[in-house]
Structure 1
Amino acid sequence: MSNTDVSADNEVIERSADEPGAFALLFDRHAPAIYRYAAQRLGEGSAEDVMSETFLVAFEKRAAYDLAIVDARPWLFGIATRLMHKHVRLEARAWKGMVADLAAQLSPDMIEQAGARLDAARLTRRLASALRGLPASDRDTLLLYAWGDLDYAGIARALDVPIGTVRSRLNRARRILRTAAGTNDPELEKEHGRVDAAAQHA
């Protein structure tokens, strides 16, 4: 099969029912993004395993995929996220060097404001502690948004929850991170999210 195949994800999955080898195209398209997401959450040491297992699970469950949904990324990120729940301790260690960057993505003004009062090491410790203390569902939502680069609709599909739940989880997580950084100003509680994309249909 050509690497230049332009079939949509749902078409590839449908075709793989009769041509299992066609599923390799889905791997070629999305494995790098799944690897980056896993590496940010767990570190590079475990990212390869999570990426491989994600596509193994996806292949085994492909018959249950909703073929009305064109983009398979939310489905794949959802599988990867559930697999990563087995690596909680490893994940907490990996966050230490990444939380300031994460906070900057979610609330661009947070780091600048907190930096005026906190040294970088203290800020990182506070944010890491806040992130570790989030409910798993809020943390998954937050990291799918920041590191999975999914819009609200994509996160909703990945986690099988309503879009309103995604919004409330993200707002709550942002507030917690702001409080940890000492920048919990109600005037700064604005939407920094990317525009929701409507669910794609064939």
Structure 2
Amino acid sequence: MATVSRAAAGTDASVIRASLADPDRFATVYDRYAAMLYRYAYQRVGPEIADDVVAETFLAAFRGRASYDLGRQDARPWLFGILTRELATHHRRERARYRAMSRSAHETVQDGPADQVAARVVAAAARGPLAAALADLAPGDRDVLLLVAWGQLSYDEVADSLNIPQGTVGSRLSRARRKVRLALRDIDPTMTTEEHHEI
């Protein structure tokens, strides 16, 4: 069976529009984004509830598809916004996960090329303080930071997904990065090398 390319299947907006008459078409949106949303949810709340949160996200998206702004061709910000609201109901679970990670033993470094070993040692050393810093962030600040760092959304997309002004995204991200940098002694793994040089 031939795989239909994304271009042939249409933009997210056109797929959602078509799903209003043919609900089965919404499966295309699921196929495009389920793995991405699952990875994000897994990092935030762990495997025990990531499946349920993603399922609830797509159920809410399906039910609310008639109100989707068809002028927005990319549904990622919309879906991440729904997912963020679903995750908010698990905020205690998320904070407990980060606290547990901050106390857990560092992962064992395995033999391998020197660069790989060095990278794993640095990552293991940062894991505890990073998890503790994430647990201590205000929920809104954490949402913005993780949508940028793990969800790979732009500032505009984060503003769309959370329905907040872009200026609020910038201030929350700045505040979150400052706290994370402090916890990691001025090393923020959510920033690119270029951003480090700008500070």
What is the rounded CA distance, in whole Å, between the counterparts of 2:194 and 2:88 in structure 1? 28
Partner of 2:113: none
2:138 counterpart (135, 152, 156): 135
- Cα deviation, 1:94-125, whole Å, max 9, x if unaligned, reads 33549x9xxxxxxxxxxx9xx7xxx92xx544
1:71 counterpart (74, 80, 105): 74
Partner of 1:12: 15
Partner of 2:109: none
Partner of 1:54: 57
Q: Is the 8 A contact 1:141 1:169 kept in 2?
A: yes
Alignment of 1:95-110 (within 5 A): 95=98, 96-97=100-101
2:85 counterpart (82, 85, 88): 82
Task: Measure how far apart 1:126 and its partner are.
Answer: 3.4
TM-score (norm 2): 0.76
Q: Is the 8 A contact 2:61 2:79 kept in 1?
A: yes
Partner of 1:155: 158
- The one-letter code sitting in structure 2 at the alignment partner of 1:35 is Y
- Which protein, 1 or 2, shows the higher relative CO under an 8 Å CA cutoff with sep ≥ 6? 1
SS in 1 for 2:21: coil
1:170 counterpart (154, 158, 173): 173
What is the rounded CA distance, in whole Å, between the counterparts of 1:170 and 1:66 in structure 2? 26
- Moved beyond 2 Å, runs of 4+: 92-98, 123-130, 181-184, 190-193
What is the rounded CA distance, in whole Å, between the counterparts of 2:93 and 2:156 in structure 1? 29
Partner of 1:146: 149
- Could you say if the C-alpha distance between residues 97 and 192 of structure 1 is closer, same or farther in structure 2, counting changes exceeding 3 Å? farther
2:24 counterpart (21, 24, 38): 21
What is the rounded CA distance, in whole Å, between the counterparts of 1:179 and 1:82 in structure 2? 28
SS in 2 for 1:182: coil
Task: Measure how far apart 1:130 and its partner are.
Answer: 2.2
What is the rounded CA distance, in whole Å, between the counterparts of 1:183 and 1:28 in structure 2? 39
What is the rounded CA distance, in whole Å, between the counterparts of 2:91 and 2:67 in structure 1? 28
SS in 1 for 2:90: helix
Task: Measure how far apart 1:3 and its partner are.
Answer: 5.1
Unaligned ranges ≥5, structure 1: 101-111, 194-202
Q: Is the 8 A contact 1:3 1:25 kept in 2?
A: no
Task: Measure how far apart 1:88 and its partner are.
Answer: 1.8
Q: Is the 8 A contact 2:101 2:128 kept in 1?
A: no
What is the rounded CA distance, in whole Å, between the counterparts of 1:191 and 1:66 in structure 2? 34
What is the rounded CA distance, in whole Å, between the counterparts of 1:56 and 1:191 in structure 2? 39
